[in-house]
Amino acid sequence: MKKVSTAVLACLATILTAAATIVAAPQAQAAPCPAVQVIYARGTTEKPAPLGATGQSFLGSLQAQLPGRAVAGHGIRYAASGNYARPLSYLLSVRNGVLGTQSRIISTIRRCPDTKIVLGGFSQGAAIVGYAISSDLSLRRDLSIVQFAMPTPLPPSISDHIAAVVLFSQPSDNWLGNVGAPPIRLGAEYADKSMRYCLPLDNICDGSPFSPPNPLHLAYVFGGVTYAGAAFAAGLV
């Protein structure tokens, strides 16, 4: 067996080290933690995904009201199904949205424990955000067969990281009950940091029985409603 001289090996090592330095890809740097993280769920079939028009308006208004502070936005990706005729289809859409919201809340807290979280949602998205931090997600008796698949409530300590909850056109208990969904119950820890906006005669949130959304339901991007919601959140972060 032939031996390679120590000098040759040293030279080869130098060349390989230099080559590795040249071709090595830079390591990806984790994004810096923002001062405020908005986690938002859009409404049923609302475009553009993932924030929707209402979410974009809310996020832009909040950023404008917090100059000099980094305000990041994240839209929950879920089906936003409008198939109300099939309660299980609607519940599946909501379930997946709730799981996505809870996962994002937890990952944000773990990665950026000092970041203030603002939760927001419109219509079905408002229900999703409400359920994500609800203390009870029990389904009605005739749908209890799928209760095992529903998300579990987050621990109350999560609220320490959530600065504000802003919900536009949260579906009323009556409307939700008609499509097989449970009422939304936020814990006492959110009493002073949550705000709901419901335009007069918006049939989704005004307590009316189930019916498809009327034109007023789509008016939250007008008249300063999202600006008012952003002002509420800005005062808490």
Q: What is the C-alpha to C-alpha distance for residues 84 and 213, in angstroms, rounded to an integer? A: 11
Is 142 one of the annotated active-site residues of the chain?
A: no
8-28 burial code (b ≥16 CB/10 A, e <16): eeeeeeeeeeeeeeeeeeeee
The answer to whether 88 and 146 have CB atoms below 8 angstroms apart is: yes
Please indicate whether residue 173 is annotated as part of the active site.
no
Pairing of strands 194-197, 71-75: unpaired
Cα distance between residue 59 and residue 118, in whole Å: 10
Catalytic pick among 61, 123, 159, 172: 123
Q: Region of 232 please: left (phi>0), alpha (psi -120 to 50) or beta.
A: alpha
Q: Is 160 a catalytic residue?
A: no
Active-site annotation, residues: 123, 202, 217
